[in-house]
Structure 1
Amino acid sequence: MDLNMKSVIHYKAGPYLPLTENWIYTQIINHKIFLPIVYCHGLENIDYFPIKKLRAFGKSNKQSNPWTMLNKAMNRLFKYNPFIGEAMKKDKPDILHAHFGGSGYLLLKHKKDYGIPLVTSFYGVDVSKLINIRPVWKRRYKVLFEQGDLFLAEGTRMREKLIALGCPEEKAKLHRIGIDVKRIRFMERKPREDGVVCLLIAARFCPKKGIPYALEAINLLSERRKTCKLQLTIIGDSSRNKRDKYEKNLILNILNKIEGKVKIKMLGYQPYPVFIEELYKNHIFISPSITADDGDDEGGAPVSLIEASSSGMTILSTFHCDIPEIVLDGQSGYLVPEKDVDALASRLEQLITTPDLWRKMGKAGRKHVEKYHDAEKQAQQLEELYLSLL
Structure 2
Amino acid sequence: MRVGFIVGKFPILSETFIINQMDGLLKRGAEIGVICNGLAPLDHIDTKTGPVSKLLQVRQDWWGMMAGARQHIDKVPHRWRDKVSTTLDMMAVPHLNSFDVLLAHFGHNGARVCRLKKRGLVRPPVVTVFHGFDVGVPYLEDGLAMYRDLFRLGAMNLPVNAHFRQMLISAGASPKKVAVHHMGIDVEQIPFQWRERSGVTLQLITVCRLAGKKGVEFALRALGRLASERPQLDWRYTIIGDGPLRAELEQLAAELGIAGRVQFLGSQPHKVVKSWLAEAHVFVLPSVTAPNGDVEGIPVALMEAMAAGLTVVSTIHSGIPELISHGTEGLLAPEKDVETLAANLAWVIEHPQECQPIALAARRKVEAEFNNRLLDDALAGQLASLVATDKKKRS
Name the aligned partner's letter for residue 122 of structure 1.
F
2:17 is aligned with 1:18: no
Q: Residue 352 of structure 1: SS of its match in structure 2?
A: helix
Aligned match of 1:317 in 304, 314, 332?
Answer: 314
Counterpart of 2:330 in structure 1 is 333
Q: CA deviation at 1:192?
A: 6.4
* Equivalent residues in 2 for 1:186-201, closer than 5 Å: 186-191=192-197, 195-201=200-206
Contact 1:190/1:358 (8 A) holds in 2: no
| TM-score computed with the length of structure 1 as normaliser | 0.87
Distance 2:73 2:221 in 1: 48
* Equivalent residues in 2 for 1:177-192, closer than 5 Å: 177-191=183-197
Q: Show CA shifts across 1:30-67 (max 9, x none).
A: 1104212111121233635333452231799xx98336
Contact 2:63/2:91 (8 A) holds in 1: no
Distance 1:93 1:286 in 2: 41
Q: Show CA shifts across 1:342-369 (max 9, x none).
A: 1011111110011012321111111100
Aligned match of 1:370 in 347, 367, 370?
Answer: 367
Name the aligned partner's letter for residue 230 of structure 1.
W
Q: Show CA shifts across 1:298-334 (max 9, x none).
A: 1x22111111111111110010000001122101110
Counterpart of 2:355 in structure 1 is 358
Q: Show CA shifts across 1:250-285 (max 9, x none).
A: 412221034557522210111222222211111000
2:303 is aligned with 1:306: yes
Distance 2:198 2:268 in 1: 25
Q: CA deviation at 1:290?
A: 0.9
Distance 1:208 1:303 in 2: 14
Contact 2:63/2:92 (8 A) holds in 1: no
Distance 2:100 2:71 in 1: 27
Counterpart of 1:270 in structure 2 is 268
Counterpart of 2:393 in structure 1 is none
* Equivalent residues in 2 for 1:28-39, closer than 5 Å: 28-31=22-25, 32-39=28-35
Aligned match of 1:167 in 151, 170, 173?
Answer: 173
Counterpart of 1:3 in structure 2 is none
Name the aligned partner's letter for residue 280 of structure 2.
N
- Identity in percent: 30
| TM-score computed with the length of structure 2 as normaliser | 0.86
Contact 2:93/2:122 (8 A) holds in 1: no
* Equivalent residues in 2 for 1:31-50, closer than 5 Å: 31=25, 32-44=28-40, 45=42, 47-48=46-47, 49-50=52-53
Aligned match of 1:27 in 15, 21, 25?
Answer: 21
Counterpart of 2:237 in structure 1 is 232
Q: Residue 30 of structure 1: SS of its match in structure 2?
A: helix
Distance of aligned partners of 1:277 and 1:319 in 2 relative to their CA distance in 1, 3 Å threshold: same
* Equivalent residues in 2 for 1:68-87, closer than 5 Å: 76-77=83-84, 79=86, 81-87=89-95
Contact 2:314/2:333 (8 A) holds in 1: yes
Aligned match of 1:208 in 204, 213, 222?
Answer: 213
Bigger mean CA deviation after superposition, 263-272 or 110-119: 110-119
Contact 1:179/1:375 (8 A) holds in 2: yes
Counterpart of 1:241 in structure 2 is none
For structure 2, the 5+ residue unaligned runs are: 389-395
Distance 2:258 2:223 in 1: 12
Contact 1:191/1:197 (8 A) holds in 2: yes
2:63 is aligned with 1:65: no
Contact 2:224/2:258 (8 A) holds in 1: no
* Equivalent residues in 2 for 1:216-227, closer than 5 Å: 216-227=221-232
How many residue pairs are counted as aligned between the two chains? 369
Name the aligned partner's letter for residue 266 of structure 1.
F
Q: CA deviation at 1:210?
A: 1.1
Counterpart of 1:55 in structure 2 is 59
Distance 1:326 1:108 in 2: 32
Counterpart of 2:392 in structure 1 is none
Aligned match of 1:122 in 108, 113, 130?
Answer: 130
Q: Show CA shifts across 1:123-180 (max 9, x none).
A: 00001124435x3x83330111001110001111111111122111000011111211
Contact 1:305/1:327 (8 A) holds in 2: no
Distance 1:198 1:211 in 2: 16
Q: CA deviation at 1:224?
A: 1.7
Distance 1:160 1:77 in 2: 34
Q: Residue 108 of structure 2: SS of its match in structure 1?
A: helix
Q: Show CA shifts across 1:53-106 (max 9, x none).
A: 52231799xx983366589989634735233223235xx211001111110111
Distance 2:137 2:258 in 1: 37
Counterpart of 2:155 in structure 1 is 149
For structure 1, the 5+ residue unaligned runs are: 1-5, 239-243
Greater helix fraction, Structure 1 or Structure 2: 2
